[in-house]
Structure 1
Amino acid sequence: MAEAAGVASLRSMLDQKAPHYNSNQRSYCTDYTLKRYLHARKFDVAKAFNMLTATLAWRKDFDVESISMLKVRGNGETGKVVVRGADREGRPILFLRPGQENSKDDHDGNLKHLVYELERAVACMDELRGVGKMLVILDLQHYSMSNAPPMKTSRATLHILQDHYPERLAKFLIIDAPWLFQGFFKIISPFIDKETAAKLVFVNGKTAEAKREVLSKFVELNRLPKSIYGDLGDEEFFTADEYFRF
């Protein structure tokens, strides 16, 4: 099915339910959004419709539009999830740094913080210019049992990324995965769809220079902090007061 025809069919199905949607739900359903859901479901309009309506219901129940920096600053104080800079294709970069965990047992708060940062990344995109995806960098230095997220939170995170932000992921770089994470990855990998799995890149070179070489293919090193093999001072990369300023 041609993309335009798919969008028209999906729009027609949505229009039948439009009276039940609030203004936020209706404004979410741009043509770009419809295209993403169609691509995610290989242009099966019925499946795309089911996926999109599930997202609309989730966004309403999760109250996505009301999540503000004031509500998430406590969880984000250490910079464990940060949107900072752009990759070589101009796509925003979402950094996940579990070694900076400060609220491991706050399941709901951590998910709200994640969604806030995902929405922040989306706000940095420019779909008119072809920038509709993000680069995700998972920094696993200092990853341990004490800061590893509970399985419940990990599965919820994966569900949100795959089911409610489809076609938003360009690449997912995993840096310095320790043996502990490899065991965790084996447990969670059955829940990762094939399209997402194909975008994973493990950065585990034997030397710092080897890792820098891999990372530089995706992002200029002056956009990465020194703590993850870049050239940017760590305080230049993130301070809570600067990041969450009003």
Structure 2
Amino acid sequence: MSEPSPKEQEVILEQLRAQLVKQDLMHEGDTIGTDDFTLLRFLRARGYDVKASVEMWAKCQEWRKTMDGVGIDELYTKMDAYDFPERREVFEYWPMWFHKTDKEGRPVSIQHYGAVNIPELYKHITPERFWWYVVTMAESIPREIIPTASRAAGHQVDGTFLIVDLKGYSLGQFWQMKDLVRAAFQIMQDYYPELSAKFFIINAPWSFTTIWSLLKLWLAPRTIEKMDVLGGDYQAVLLKHVDAENLPAFYGGTSCNEYLQQ
């Protein structure tokens, strides 16, 4: 289905809201979010098919209640993704952080896959706790990151601006982390849909052809459509979307090379 007009979206949105209420799948105060932006994300993920969007929402609500036997709300109170005992070591061996915003007010999310070292990571944090970190980080995006960015921008921000840096990345690293990456992509597509508005892969090595052939099997077509794969000549492309003062100097901007969320 092609993108409906704003007026058509309003009609479909109200149809979805009515169905969710009727089927007892949405209640005031639900932490999944009950605002128009959240509902529209589920609609876009399912091509504005109301029935399919209801099914997706129901599965998401069930996952939120049962995730790891405790549910996402309890887990979110147990682990602060930005402040927990192993945070510094986790950042050292799997660096990912937020750094300012793009020209549309979207939070810039950076993940440096080339620096990932799974064996060293698991010397400092258990696989279970690291997965909790991944999930609570994902949960923080619609709960905290996007609302904060939207207030700062003065309008509803439509998602994050994601940069995945593959500088120094090897096939060996990919095989070490592939199950985690696949699981992370899966929860983002199934339970946090349409949160990446822009997605750039930079410093892609020659071996990325092999990696990409596998990644495409895991990704929804809408996700693939948003992705741009760049080699080492990416600075001009990023600067089209991010003001120089908001882009770290090591990516061609003038912002300090400080990791803001380490």
TM-score band, normalised by the shorter chain?
0.7 to 0.9
The one of 83, 99, 115 equivalent to 1:100 is: 115
| Residues 15-69 of structure 1: per-residue CA shift (max 9 Å, x gap) | 2443x77876366232321122112212211100011111222223333331313
Which moved further from structure 2: 56-65 or 46-55?
A: 56-65
| Distance across 1 between alignment mates of 2:29 and 2:59 | 15
Equivalent position amino acid for 1:229 in 2: G
Match of 1:181 in 2: 208
- Residue in structure 1 matched with residue 48 of structure 2 by the alignment: 43
| RMSD (CA atoms) | 2.8
Residue type at the aligned position of 2:72: V
**Stretches of structure 2 lacking an aligned partner (at least 5 in a row):** none
Unaligned runs of 5+ in 1: none
| 1:151 is aligned to 2:178 | yes
**8 Å contact from structure 1 (residues 92, 121) kept in 2:** no
Q: Deviations over 1:106-152 (max 9, x none)?
A: 54444333333334443232287131211100011121245435322
Provide the secondary structure at the position in 2 that maps to 1:179.
coil
| TM-score normalised by L of structure 1 | 0.81
CA distance in 1, matches of 2:95, 2:29: 29
Counterpart-to-counterpart distance in 1, 2:127 and 2:224: 25
Higher relative contact order (CA 8 A, sep 6+): 2
Return the alpha-carbon distance in structure 2 between the equivalents of residues 75 and 46 of structure 1.
44
Can you list the C-alpha shifts for 1:201-237, whole angstroms capped at 9, x where unaligned? Answer: 12215xxxx4221211121233233333333343xx2
CA-to-partner distance for each residue in 1:79-123, whole Å, 9 max, x for gaps?
A: 611112101111011111123325455544443333333344432
**Cα offset, 1:179, TM superposition:** 2.4
Tell me the equivalent position of 2:220: 193
Match of 2:18 among 12, 17, 42: 12
Counterpart-to-counterpart distance in 1, 2:169 and 2:32: 39
How many pairs were matched up? 234
Secondary structure in 1 aligned to 2:222?
Answer: helix
Aligned residues with identical type, % of pairs:
25
